[in-house]
Amino acid sequence: MLIAAGLGLLLGFVVGLLGAGGSILAVPALVYGLGEPVHQAIPISLVVVGSTAAVSVLPRLRQRVIRWPVAGVFGAAGIAASFGGAALGRLLSPQVLLLAFAAVMVAAAVRMLTGDTTPRGACTVTGGRVNWRACLPKSLAIGAVVGFLTGMFGVGGGFLVVPALALLLGLEMPAAVATSLVIVALNAAGGLVAHASAVPELDPRVVAAFTGTALVTAVLAARFGGRLDAARLRRWFAWFVLAVAGFVTVQALLDPAALS
């Protein structure tokens, strides 16, 4: 359980500091670090990432940067779509699932590194108000896509939620990071329900060690997340996603038998 606890420390640091990325760390950590089968790692990841994200919201409540209406709309669409993603994910082989997972990570990272960071999307606050006629349909559409991927890959979707909120919907980076934590918690809950049949098979010791240490470090790291430069935070996040994507791709191609 020491390995699970150590990996949980690293996961909690990423979630608390960046508001995202924990799920893309959790699945590879469970598969390659603890030897869990891919389809078993998915619900464990959802438990860990969802609870960690929920706790990481608490230090950001004082900052008053969470966009609750956007989180609610985005999260509701994601929960509904997560069931379809879970159904498709069960039909795919572990190797195909992880390779597709890596491809999504690369696309998100490239978007973060090359996209215009000026907040001018559909949900940008103008004159203290949001144009919901433009914001609502886009939030629903993007939320559904993220929710589908949550159910399919067992991720909270934070590595997609942050760039979607910042670059597509127009939220400032601090608001995007804080709001993403709420959405990650909602998506993880929906995805876990979609994978309910696998929950009784989970090892409670692994879940407890992974989750417990992740929660502690997430709370501590979240206290420093809001103090970092937004542009630098985005670059760190993007390069981290690319590094994990490369590792997952190499491992899935070299040793596909170890995934099942």
Please give the Cα distance from 25 to 177 (Å, whole number): 17
Query: Are 145 and 34 contacting, i.e. CB atoms less than 8 angstroms apart?
Result: no
Domain tally, the chain: 1
Q: How many CB atoms lie within 10 A of CB 147?
A: 29
**Structural domain of 253:** 2-259
pTM comes to 0.76
For 126, the 3-state DSSP assignment is strand
- Whether the Cβ atoms of residue 183 and residue 74 lie closer than 8 Å to each other: yes
Whole-number Å distance between alpha carbons of 226 and 241: 20
Question: CA 218 to CA 66: how far, in whole Å?
Answer: 17
What are the pLDDT tens digits along the chain (260 aa)? 666 677 677 777 776 666 555 666 777 777 777 778 777 788 888 888 788 778 778 777 877 888 888 899 998 998 899 889 888 888 888 788 888 888 877 877 787 777 655 555 667 766 557 778 888 888 899 899 888 988 887 766 666 787 778 777 878 878 888 888 898 888 888 888 887 776 666 778 877 887 888 777 777 776 665 566 656 776 777 787 788 888 888 878 887 655 55
